[in-house]
Amino acid sequence: MSTVSAAVVLQARMGSTRMPGKVLADLDGRPLVAHCIARLRAASVGPVVVATTTRPDDDELADVARACGAAVFRGPVDDVLLRYVLAARWLAVDQVIRATADNPAVDIGSVRRTLEWLVEHDVDHVVERDLPVGGGVEAVRTAALVDALKRTSDHGDREHVTLFLKRDGRYRVGQPLAPAHLRRPDVRVTVDTPADLARMRQLLRAVGARRWLVPLGEIIEAWDALPAPARVA
């Protein structure tokens, strides 16, 4: 891995349409985004950069990210694909791990696994199958992001970064299965709603106070111990 030029780019902004400000919501005594940064840094595949917007309401987010040890890149608000391309060029990396700041329980091992799969199989994009919702990341070649930027002007493609890569037949896409003990697509560890946030607080309490780097497998076990109504999205 030492010869691979890669970085983790974590997209985040305060202006979430469904839950504004969620990236700084308190989760076990720390902002939600701090959990994301800590887990991604623990993967040790390259620098972690928070890619946020140039809007003033993201100033506080940028300050928090830096305090957590991440670099910060600020770019377009809605054209997230362009934000990623600009961030990758700023970092001068050939591969990017795309992560999102609503996933505070992302599997630490998935970061390295997807990057290694991308390089070893010489593909353009990789995402693992059957992880819990919010448990994974995407690995993508910078060259593929640049190419997609040139080829699509569709708003959805530009907002969702890798959508064009996954649906257009010209790109080489890998979808390896996640490790067997983590294949739980029925489990939800993303935070899109207040109910999701409340559930994540329950899960972290169950695995032990302030255990921010607890393995995803233990969080899955805590999910299975929740009362059935608490698991409803």
Query: What is the reported pTM?
Result: 0.95
Whether residue 163 is contained in a domain is answered as: yes
pLDDT at position 210: 63
pLDDT at position 134: 98
CA Rg, the chain, in Å? 17
Whether residue 137 is contained in a domain is answered as: yes
Number of independent structural domains in the chain: 1
Listing DSSP states for 39-90 in one string gives: HHHHT-SS-EEEEEESSGGGHHHHHHHHHTT-EEEEE-SS-HHHHHHHHHHH
How many Cα atoms occupy the beta-carbon half-sphere of 141 within 13 Å? 19
pLDDT at position 197: 96
Could you list the pLDDT tens digit for every one of the 233 residues in the chain? 344 699 999 999 999 888 999 999 999 899 999 999 999 999 999 999 999 999 999 999 999 999 999 999 999 999 999 999 999 999 999 999 999 999 999 999 999 999 999 999 999 999 999 999 999 999 999 999 999 999 999 999 999 999 999 999 999 999 999 999 999 999 999 999 999 999 999 999 999 866 789 999 999 999 999 987 777 76
What would the two tokens of residue 88 be? 């990758």
Rounded Cα distance between 133 and 75, Å, is: 27
Whether residue 57 is contained in a domain is answered as: yes
Contacts with 60 (C-beta within 8 Å, 6 or more apart), sequence order: 14, 24
Find, among 98, 185, 108, the residue nearest to 138 by Cα. Answer: 98
Whether residue 1 is contained in a domain is answered as: no
140: containing domain: 6-231
For residue 41, what is the domain's CATH number? 3.90.550.10
Whether residue 126 is contained in a domain is answered as: yes
End-to-end CA separation in angstroms for the chain: 37
